[in-house]
Structures are given as C-alpha cells and as structure tokens.
Amino acid sequence: MMNFSKALTRWYLENKRDLPWRKTDNPYLIWLSEIMLQQTRVAQGTPYFLSFTNAFPTVFDLAAANEEQVLKLWQGLGYYSRARNLHKTAQFVATELSGKFPDNYIDLLKLKGVGEYTAAAIASFSYNEVVPVVDGNVFRVLSRYFDVETDIASASAKKEFAALAFELMPKDNPALFNQGIMEFGALQCVPKNPNCGICIFNSSCAALQKKKVDQLPVKSKKLKVRNRYFNYLVVSDDNENTLIQKRTAKGIWHNLYEFPLIETEKTEDFDCIAEQIQSDYFIENKIVSILEINPESIIHKLSHQHLHIKFWKVKVKGTIENGISSETLKTFPFPIVIHNFIEKDFLS
C-alpha cells in the first residue's frame, strides 16, 4: 500500500501539469476552480478560471456582482446551476462568514453547490485535512489497480472507494496524494486505450495482469436521452431591433436568455412553423417574411437531453415592443448555442 502512495507521489511531482489553482492554498480560488472543473475538462475550464479571478479577485467581488454578470462570464461552460450556486455561495460567505470559507470538510459540505467531492478537495488542498478526494479519475485508478468490480454508479461505491483511498493516503501529506491520484487518472490511467506499457504500475496493476483494463471501472448504463425540438424566432423590425426573453422556468438554462421559442414534438416543416408564427406571434406588427435560417437542425447535446434547434428569421413592419439593438443583444448571457448563432449568423 505504502509503495503505491510513494510511487504515485513521485510520478506526480515529475509529471504534474502547471495549473494556476495549484499555486495557492487560498480556499476561494480552490473552490472556484473545483466548481468550474465539475463535468468540465481542464483545458476548457482554465480560461474561465482566469477570467473569473481577473473579474472577481476575491469572494467579496464575486458576491457584489449581479447574477447576469456571472452568467455572462460563465457562458459556454454549461451546467449553469453551478454558476447560480457559485454566486449565492459567494454572497453567503461574504455576508454571513465575513469572507472566510469554512476550514473543514463537514462545514464546507453545508455550502450551496458544494458536494462531497468539492468539500474534500477544498479541505485537502487549502487546509491539508486528511480526507480522500474521490472523482471519476480516482474511481478508475483504484478500480483497475485493485480490480474492484463495484458499480461506480451504485449508492455504496463512493463510500467503498473513499475508504480505500483513505487507507492508501499518507496522513502527513494528504493534499499531495489527492492531487497525484487525480492527475494520474487524467494523464496516464485514461478511460480509453491507456498506454499501460509506460505505466509505473504495470507490474502490480491487477486489471492489467487479468487483461481487464478496458472493463473497469464498472458503470451501469446512463439514463435514456430525451429529444426536444426548439424553433427560435429571430425577429427583425424596421429599426433592425430584435426580441429576447428570459428562461425563468426551472430546468435547462434557467435565467439565461433566448429568442422567442416554439417547442414542437418533432422536427416540423416550414408550413407548420410559419402557420404558428402568423397565428400566435407579432400580432401588433405585420409579418413581411419568414425564412428558415438553418434547414438542417443544429443538434446540441446536454447530459440527458438532445436539442434539435432551428432558427427562423421573421421580418416585421414597424417597431416591435421591447425590441433591442444587435449591440445590446450581445451583452446578455445566452446558452452557448444561441451565443454562437448571434456571433456568426445574426442579421446576416
């Protein structure tokens, strides 16, 4: 067991990536990085971390921002509930805790948006608390090295793997071990086709000896994906103004903005959408033309939903009520698929 920890730590010190949040034990910065890296690759998350720390150097700065500022800066990272929780937690820490993050795992768990993994990461990396950090990388490394066949989607898995990691962890430097095992899973013991020939554990890894590397970790099948069909109405009046609305209902993209939306049961043809637009929308303004901007739907994949998105250009006479200019439009936070459309195709 101790040989595993020593070899892992040595590997980490020789191979670790130079990442900005590894140069600090400031709990605000570590919390920020951990929230951003939930379900997000390091390469994608790093620019966002740098943007946030530049815009909001302290938890007080983040707390003082308005939610739309936070969502706009988060735009493109996905899972927007993370950003909303981030903002609420910053306000709680700033006002209720005088800007000081809890200094232990149990109290960190009480913060909104902070689960077992994130609490363990902050406790370990900021305060060197002896608590194991268990993420997908850790599941993979331990299940392969020790040939653990427990389904990682099961209720008991986290507890079992955390106990194993705790046993392996040197109690005098838990942070280094936690960083090491996560980095090992990210760089060496990768999900598909790891290069076991160069692995430091290739003589002691149980999965490799038993030719089971590609079978571990065991994970039950994901939930069924739901298909949804979105038709966005990109209106333009005589002043080149357009309309947007805020998604206030719970669910995807809560509190982000979008164009007026017609959601259908399946992909509909021009006649069907045009008929709905003419009967239900822009009653105060005469519709001059309706154009299907992308005949092929854009398929935007979320974790449990696939969105089939079409944009429809609707030209109307006169001035639309609550219309905004194309310049003002760009200041609002949008889902990335709409943001990309605005940047590339809007009013073209």
Which sequence positions are flagged as catalytic?
34
Q: With contact defined as beta carbons under 8 Å apart, do 178 and 135 qualify? A: no
Q: Which residues pair with 235 in a beta bridge?
A: 314
Place of tokens 């997908």: 136
Exposed, middle or buried, 311 (CB in 10 Å: 0-12/13-18/19+)? Answer: buried
Nearest-angstrom CA–CA distance, 80 and 253: 6
Q: With contact defined as beta carbons under 8 Å apart, do 93 and 99 qualify? A: yes
The DSSP element (H or E) to which 180 belongs, if any, is: helix 174-187
Q: Extract the tokens encoding 190.
A: 């990768």
Q: Extract the tokens encoding 267.
A: 């992909």
Burial 174-200 (b: 16+ CB within 10 A, else e): bbbbbbbbbbbbbebbeeeebeeeebb
Please report, in angstroms and rounded to a whole number, the separation of the first and last CA atoms in the chain.
Answer: 63
Exposed, middle or buried, 136 (CB in 10 Å: 0-12/13-18/19+)? Answer: middle
Nearest-angstrom CA–CA distance, 160 and 55: 40
178: helix, coil or strand?
A: helix
Give 105-114 contacts, CB < 8 A, sequence gap 24+: 105/129, 105/131, 112/85, 112/88, 113/35, 113/81, 113/82, 113/85, 113/86, 113/88, 113/89, 114/31, 114/35, 114/89
How many residues does this entry show for the chain? 348
The DSSP element (H or E) to which 119 belongs, if any, is: helix 116-127
CA atoms within 13 A on the CB side of 339: 17
